[in-house]
A and B are shown apart, each in its own frame.
Chain A
Amino acid sequence: AQSVTQPDIHITVSEGASLELRCNYSYGATPYLFWYVQSPGQGLQLLLKYFSGDTLVQGIKGFEAEFKRSQSSFNLRKPSVHWSDAAEYFCAVGAINTDKLIFGTGTRLQVFP
């Protein structure tokens, strides 16, 4: 069965520091992979997605993610975090034979000034 694991429940970083949020997936074929961000009281906004091709994908707000098939990972990175990045981040995998997204449990990012 498809699944997504986000090992870090809560991460705290200082503003200006670099960030990496981890995501591992379990899927029988090449997955569709997504990172969504949920700001407090808001819906989910897509940061970036990977379907095929270049394994390093660029997203909005200065985020990027790298697909590593050998590690079944799709980690999200940002070189310099801003206070406005404080939010909940969700990794998701798309099941190709259906249209549903399977989400990880989320990582809460806290940013200190």
Chain B
Amino acid sequence: DTAVSQTPKYLVTQMGNDKSIKCEQNLGHDTMYWYKQDSKKFLKIMFSYNNKELIINETVPNRFSPKSPDKAHLNLHINSLELGDSAVYFCASSQGIKATEAFFGQGTRLTVV
């Protein structure tokens, strides 16, 4: 069973569109994250949620809106997509709100054309 799963794995879309990426974890963790990996492989946190509450929002444009319907899910919705949003987006989860071991999903490669 996949611990942290993201869908879709690949997403190609046009500028201006709205898209969502879904994430689910079956590890029983209470904290979930979205990280963005740019074209130079640099990884940076975007959001974290603990028990469905937003903990971290790292100055991400408000076109990005995470939604956590329950502890096991953290979806990422992106409005009005721009070329610069092209990246690989990783979902992750961990137990607790201290920086403990995070388990990552396989990533979603988003390409905006």
Contacts and interface: CB of A to CB of B under 8 A. Distances in A.
B7 interface: no
B66 interface: no
Range class of the B interface residue count: 20 to 34
Q: How would you classify the secondary structure of chain A's contact residues: helix, strand, loop or mixed?
A: strand
B105 to A, nearest CB: 5
A44 B90 contact: yes
Contacts of B33: 99-100
Contacts of A45: 104
Contact of A99 (B4, B31, B44, B90): B31
Interface residues of A, number: 24
A46 B96 CA distance: 17
Contacts of A100: 33, 45, 48, 56, 58, 99
Nearest to A90: B43
B100 interface: yes
A94 B100 contact: yes
Given A43-B104, A46-B102, A100-B56, 15 more contacts: A32-B99, A42-B106, A42-B107, A43-B105, A43-B106, A44-B43, A44-B90, A44-B92, A95-B99, A99-B55, A99-B98, A100-B48, A101-B102, A105-B40, A106-B43
8 contacts: A32-B98, A43-B4, A43-B104, A49-B101, A90-B43, A96-B99, A99-B97, A105-B42
Interface of A: 32, 34, 36, 41-46, 49, 88, 90, 93-96, 98-103, 105-106
